[in-house]
Structure 1
């Protein structure tokens, strides 16, 4: 030990007492090989203390009093004048202490690590787990109720859905022709607010009136509906709502069966302003094939030049042959008048 070698020639005088009842005697103190050597004035050995086992009885106070670990009855008092020896002993004791294992410190580190793991669990895993569980256990009727509550809020911006009688009948036919995976699913036409199309929990798709009024054939609006059906398949609409609302939205749905109005208001604004994420061409083509809809009209509606949607045009699953008509001409004309002109 470098520190020991530094102090091995250091000596001091002090007062040593072997037992609490013994009289103190003047001694010479020196540092040996990992020991503190105590001798009388004739240099006869009186005691050898192991330096790692030396304890101080009065830390920070003078005169310094030391004793062997476990035996506070045997003491060595170093007077104020022997500061160099006191400094040496304190440095040696500090070096020994630093090298000792510290179970308490290790326990503290383990405890803090455990708490950090719990915090990470609460922040990252638990919200996802709660949301996933909520989505899996909520019945379809509750999904429909949540979707209707969301629709009621959105209609303050979009206005009420168009409901001209003949057009509404044609819209039902369109919904039956392009059903949601879990059932027919509603399709509603609104006058404004929705950019083109969006979907709600419960299988409802909202479409802007421009999609039925500004195109000559129903294939374009059918393409937008297919795209929304695919988005709903890829990411559960209720799950998207709960993710937007955060942990407490999922917790509220599980415990009370409802989503709070402020969450619905926030998500309604999000749906009406959110740019639609483009779907992979392979996903779209599989969807058009599944619903028997030509992808070319939809591709040109997205990009009139066809440059960015060339894949949908060239790989159209019904290129060169006619799929089952989306709607008859008569029903398409009725649907175009659903908002009353």
Structure 2
């Protein structure tokens, strides 16, 4: 028995009853390799052998210690107050217990690991899922409010939105005809491009209007901006920047915290979107009956990087029956930031 390797031989005096009603008799208890052997002290004749792992103490913590070889049928019983023998038997039982499988403990460990895994998954997954859900379920009024918040932050870098009534009236007339009936267009100074914001809100630079040869070039920039990510994706990008607490507030209260999108407008200006594929752009220009070459020249006056849009201009051989805007409309649009 490896638990008792320091003992060459371990014996102790004990009292033995063969049955509960049998008279008690003195015996010598000796520890074998895996057994307890009970021997008559006079004749040294073995009286009984017990399996050491099966031995059960009937009165834990009490003295003298009482043991039986079968807990379910405690017929044979020995009593001993030899502390060395008691400690030896307890040590054997502890060694056996330490090597015994503990399904309940293992189940608890597995359950704990599973719970920790779920919690870790929620920590990693829940914020992103919450932001995505907020972007997906936000009604048009909320997405437009997000767009207006982005626009307000963007004007910190460009200057305030131009509000001359005659020019804005032209933009309001143009938006549903050029993009769709839910679109709105705003003009800001010192910007030579167009950007799409959440809520189907488009921002156009006054520099583009002032330098373009006609409204078709500016219209081309708006068309290109409308062909990027859809409104849900644009809203998601803004909410992802604002963070999970902003998304949670939007879901529960329907409003944005103050300064939730601070700095986002500048980020948009610093990272312009990629121009749509030429084939897709040409299809949209054809649908709207607009020339693509004017848009292309406003991007690259040399034409080298936009040659496909120039050579495949759908209006190259068949000019539109009427211009996109009348001269007074175009002039009002160009002067939206004047005064």
Where on the TM-score scale, by shorter chain, does this alignment land: which range?
0.7 to 0.9
Residue 51 of structure 1 is matched in structure 2 by 53
Distance 2:297 2:151 in 1: 30
Match of 1:108 in 2: 109
> Which of the two has higher C-alpha Rg?
2
Residue 191 of structure 1 and its aligned partner are, at CA, apart by 1.0
What is the deviation of 1:212?
1.0
What CA distance in whole angstroms lies between the structure 1 residues aligned with 2:93 and 2:334?
Answer: 94
Please report the TM-score for the alignment, with normalisation by the length of structure 2.
Answer: 0.73
| Shift in alpha-carbon separation, 1:226–1:52, aligned structure 2, 3 A | farther
Aligned to 1:239: 236
**2:245 — aligned with what?**
248
Preserved contact between residue 68 and residue 74 of structure 1 (Cα < 8 Å): no
Partner residue, 1:208:
205
Question: Matched residues in 2 for 1:76 and 1:129: separation?
Answer: 68
What secondary structure sits across from 2:261 in the alignment? Answer: helix
In 2, distance between residues paired with 1:270 and 1:188? 19
1:139-161 residue CA offsets vs partner (Å, 9 max, x unmatched) = 32333334334434443443222
Q: Which residue of 2 aligns with 1:335?
A: 333
Which of 96, 100, 112 is the equivalent residue of 2:99? 96
Secondary structure of 2:112's partner? helix
From 177, 182, 186, the equivalent of 1:188 is 186
Query: Against the structure 1 CA distance between its residues 137 and 43, is the aligned structure 2 distance closer, same or farther, given a 3 Å change threshold?
Result: same
Q: 1:249 to 1:285 in 2, by over 3 A?
A: farther
Give the corresponding residue for 1:228. 225
- Cα deviation for residue 297 of structure 1 reads 3.5
TM-score, structure 1 normalization? 0.72
SS at match of 1:265: coil
Q: How many Å apart are 1:301 and its aligned residue?
A: 3.7
The 3 A distance-change label for structure 1 pair 235 and 308 is farther
> Do the aligned residues in 2 keep the contact of 1:191 with 1:339 (CA within 8 Å)?
yes
Q: Structure 2 stretches of 5 or more lacking a match?
A: none
What is the deviation of 1:255?
1.2
- Structure 1's 163 and 236: CA in aligned 2 closer, same or farther, altered over 3 A? same
Structure 2 counterpart of 1:155: 155
1:281-340 superposed Cα distances (whole Å, 9 cap, x missing partner): 455444444444343443444445555545545555555433574334443343223222
Which runs of 5 or more structure 1 residues have no equivalent in the other structure? none
CA distance in 2, matches of 1:58, 1:284: 88
Q: Which of 6, 11, 14 is matched with 1:13 structurally?
A: 11
How many aligned positions are there?
323
Aligned residue in 1 for 2:268: 271
Structure-2 change in CA distance of 1:330 and 1:68 (3 Å): farther
